[in-house]
Amino acid sequence: MATVGHITHYPASTKCNRISPLLLAAYTQGAKFKVPVILRHPIFTFFLTFLVFSPVKADVLSLAWDNDLLTGEDRGYTNGVRFSYLTAAAEDREKSSSTLAQRGRDAMSFLPGIGRADDQHAFTFSVRQLMITPADITTPELQPDDIPYAGHLSVSSTLWSWNADKITGFGAHLGVIGPESGAEATQKWVHKLTGSTKPRGWDNQLGTDVVGGIQAAHARKVLHTGSPGAIEQQVSVVGSTLLSSFRTTAKTGLIWRLGRHLPVNFVPDYAGTSSTISMPGSFSESATSWSVFVGLGVEYVAYSYFEDNAGPFQFEESPLLGQIGIGGSWQWNQTQIALTLRATTGEEESSKDNFSFGTLSFSWAL
């Protein structure tokens, strides 16, 4: 699971303000509405229209929600939401969405790990919204000694190739930072719904900027004990890199998972809205399954849009971050639910406070 541009004026009209590696929201426009605003956003509308009118039918739908309220906090990475769908595998020719995956596999077969005859291939498409806020959201004043208010809305696509022992993905993303992300309306809507403190500093949010880039990820299972129907455990390693005008990073981690009737995919959704790596092969062949897992990771931050364009904000990000996640999942027929609690070492060198938040995700196999 963010940064800003050159700041010349702090109100929302500011052009090119920055955002950090952790950004923002999940719905968009007026807190007066009872319906989350992301449902009204043009990007979401385009995404939904694509799903409805395209001949492609999703094989898996997923909704992931990050929020620090799940850990009893309300600062830093405040909220994030991702709506995704996974096409049928290119090798499953009986489903119409496999055609799109076939074309992607053939076009990208020059990339390492893509196009192997024994692997399955599928696309994920996502709409994601993220939000960050300072620790004190009760004051309308500018807080240059803390993280600024910032929102980020993006669309992304990734082609995944996987088998029982490995998974590889390559993708791209494009997004917007600023008022157009709908972060302000989202936070106000959520806080009104939950009876939380009303945020009053959004007039100082970072201004509009367009960001985008490419990403890649690879994971491999290194240990598997037990047999289907009995208790199984797995250990896997995962690595990813992001090259973006929003944030450029490299990550690596180790994941341990224990459960019954574990699915083919050995990477649980411990990463929350930051990746769709958990989606391919995520459903067990059994009608029911469960798992618990722990993930440890480290992230190197080569570029942070937020730090590079912090302007008056006193933000200096540590180039090396530690991460831990613990959680569990449960599947019943075509529905899967996962809950993960995560903590990341302080994003700010000037403030060593950790960011902690929870991720609740729902997936449906169609």
- Separation of alpha carbons 159 and 224, rounded Å: 26
All residues at 6 or more sequence positions from 198 whose CB lies less than 8 Å from its CB, including other chains:
137, 138, 188, 191, 192
Top-confidence residue, 307 or 54: 307
Q: What is the mean pLDDT of the chain?
A: 80
Quote the distance between the C-alpha of residue 204 and its chain's center.
25
Top-confidence residue, 161 or 274: 161
Q: What is the 8-class DSSP label of residue 264?
A: S
Q: Are 144 and 312 in contact (CB under 8 A)?
A: yes
User: What 3-state class would DSSP assign to 18?
Assistant: strand
Measuring CA to CA, how many Å separate 86 from each of 29, 98, 158, 296?
28, 10, 10, 26
At residue 148 the predicted structure's pLDDT band, cuts being 50, 70 and 90, is confident
**Amino acid 3: pLDDT:** 37
- 301, two tokens: 């931050």
**Amino acid 145: pLDDT:** 82
CATH code for the domain in which residue 328 is found? 2.40.128.140
Over range 85-104, report the average pLDDT. 92
Say how many residues make up the chain: 366
**Amino acid 19: pLDDT:** 32
User: What 3-state class would DSSP assign to 200?
Assistant: coil
232 pLDDT higher than 90: yes
Q: Are 265 and 162 in contact (CB under 8 A)?
A: yes
Give percent of the chain above pLDDT 70. 76
For β-strands 166-177 and 209-225, DSSP reports them as antiparallel
24 pLDDT higher than 60: no
**Amino acid 334: pLDDT:** 92
Bridge partners (DSSP) of residue 338 are 329, 361
- Separation of alpha carbons 282 and 363, rounded Å: 9
Name residue 195's amino acid. G
**What is this structure's pTM?**
0.80
Taking the CB of residue 347, how many other CB atoms lie within 10 A of it? 27
**Amino acid 355: pLDDT:** 54
pLDDT digits (tens, 9 = 90+) for 289-328: 999 999 999 999 999 887 887 777 766 778 898 989 999 9
**Amino acid 86: pLDDT:** 96
Q: How many domains does the chain have?
A: 1
Top-confidence residue, 14 or 226: 226
- 314, two tokens: 């006193």
33 pLDDT higher than 70: no
User: What 3-state class would DSSP assign to 257?
Assistant: strand
DSSP state letters, 14-33: -BS-EE-SS---S--S-TT-
**What range defines the domain where residue 159 resides?**
3-365
Q: 130: burial class by Cβ within 10 Å (0-12, 13-18, 19+)?
A: buried
45 pLDDT higher than 80: no
Lookup result for tokens 């809205």:
273
